[in-house]
Structure 1
């Protein structure tokens, strides 16, 4: 019986991913290379590459607000990807048996997805819809005339406008890479939640406290955005 032929597209993507990881390992100190081979290390490399890609879009369009949805979209994708790498059993039978690791992963994933949905939808409502529609109708450079986050405008004044120094230090460094690093730091506990960090501990009071804090945080952000909308409409 002939062996099944590998998908050329899948093989090419796998080879490209291996090449990227090898290049990243070559550019960093040797002590970091073993960590890059872990799921969290791989995620870090792809996160930085994704950030740079969004930065290039910001440069091409003259508007750094393209980054706004990036850091709210990455965590829900990351938790699913890490879960697939970790291989925890989250089938209905595992949940029915009260598997602590399975329940923890389900609850954390639900909270992250709820947080991401609310935040991304808020961006679409305030800035994203105009940014995307203007770009679709008039081209990428038209995005420069769209509304931009007020904090980005403030950062631009620090560097005397859209100068090369602004794009390198202000946009790439402060607006893009710094938030990516902060969000990635917040995602580090996911390696334990998804079974990539060693032994999976049983559920405890810290899980309940963390879940309550996550839900409360989403409610607090929603209340803050609603209050801001009322203030702006007044």
Structure 2
């Protein structure tokens, strides 16, 4: 492991400590002297959701933003997208005001860990097991677009809006699960099944994509023509099966919340789905800019569902229609 890689790994492990230590300090004060809490600890006790937002704001928005300017890269927030939901679910489960069904809580916590491990593994596999090798291409494009103003715009574009509002919003079902004590029922198993299906679909889709990219990299090194497009496996039924699986995961959490009488939490997942739909447009535009794959990808767009897996249209029929 190089010095830069090791430094980034150390920073990534240390950066959430302020929030974790503050929260543990709060729990220790509450357990030792719950009858005479200071105004600060009393506020932390009565407002678990606001406390999560406050910790997120100072530890992620402010601290991550400062570190990103020191390192000239917003790489870390991409990694922590996979970690923050785990921190949130444990925050909601351990807060003194929490009330919940034990089995439902354990099911959701285990599913959140499985989702996080799957996505974290995919992140490092994609980055060739390097810490901070690069930032999300969307942030790089925005930095070029906004130029000298990017230093302050990035606080709102990368962190406050894209991370805090999105992540807190789509993780609201985790809060609901730990604020309503209702016996486990059939809908909990439906929700768990949807979440698990989403994780499995996303895993196989990302694995197929990783294998495709790896093969093309080897062909490029050998000076051989690269395969223009991935249209096998799950990718023959959807142009973005990994995104579809990810959306299933979040909507599965909404079913948990809906079952507990808080169906309004679908708003977070709806906004996330709409934003992801926009991201797919950006991704496909990038695909079409690559000459070696543009023609094949245009045909792929015409014959294959954009997100929800479905049977492909006949390429011959499409070509005949075009002519």
Task: Specify the TM-score bucket, using the shorter chain as the normaliser.
Answer: 0.5 to 0.7
Between the aligned partners of 1:77 and 1:128, the Cα distance in structure 2 is: 25
Kept in 1, the 8 Å contact 2:111–2:196? The answer is: yes
Between the aligned partners of 1:127 and 1:225, the Cα distance in structure 2 is: 13
Deviation at 1:35, TM superposition (A): 9.6
Greater relative contact order structure (CA < 8 Å, 6+ sep): 1
Deviation at 1:105, TM superposition (A): 0.3
Deviation at 1:150, TM superposition (A): 1.7
Residues 63, 48 of structure 1: CA spacing in aligned structure 2 closer, same or farther, 3 A cutoff? same
Partner of 1:150: 137
Partner of 1:114: 114
- Summarize deviations over 1:186-205 as a string: whole Å, max 9, x none: 221222312xx3x4122223
Over 4 Å off, 4+ runs: 86-89
Kept in 2, the 8 Å contact 1:104–1:193? The answer is: yes
- Bigger shift: 63-72 or 35-44? 35-44
Indicate yes or no: 2:156 matched with 1:176: no
Deviation at 1:87, TM superposition (A): 6.8
The one of 177, 183, 192 equivalent to 2:176 is 192
Kept in 1, the 8 Å contact 2:78–2:135? The answer is: no
Residue correspondence of structure 1 range 51-200 to structure 2 within 5 A: 51=60, 52-86=62-96, 101-127=101-127, 129-131=129-131, 146-160=133-147, 163=148, 165-169=149-153, 171-177=154-160, 178-194=162-178, 197=179, 199-200=180-181
Q: Which has the larger radius of gyration?
A: 2
Deviation at 1:182, TM superposition (A): 0.8
Residue correspondence of structure 1 range 11-90 to structure 2 within 5 A: 37-51=46-60, 52-86=62-96
- Bigger shift: 105-114 or 171-180? 171-180
Aligned residues: 181
Secondary structure at 2:127 match in 1: helix
Structure 1: 5+ residue stretches without partners: 1-8, 23-33, 90-99, 133-145
Normalising by structure 2, we get a TM-score of 0.49
Give the root-mean-square deviation of aligned CA atoms: 3.2
Kept in 1, the 8 Å contact 2:45–2:97? The answer is: no
Between the aligned partners of 2:96 and 2:176, the Cα distance in structure 1 is: 9
Kept in 2, the 8 Å contact 1:58–1:67? The answer is: no
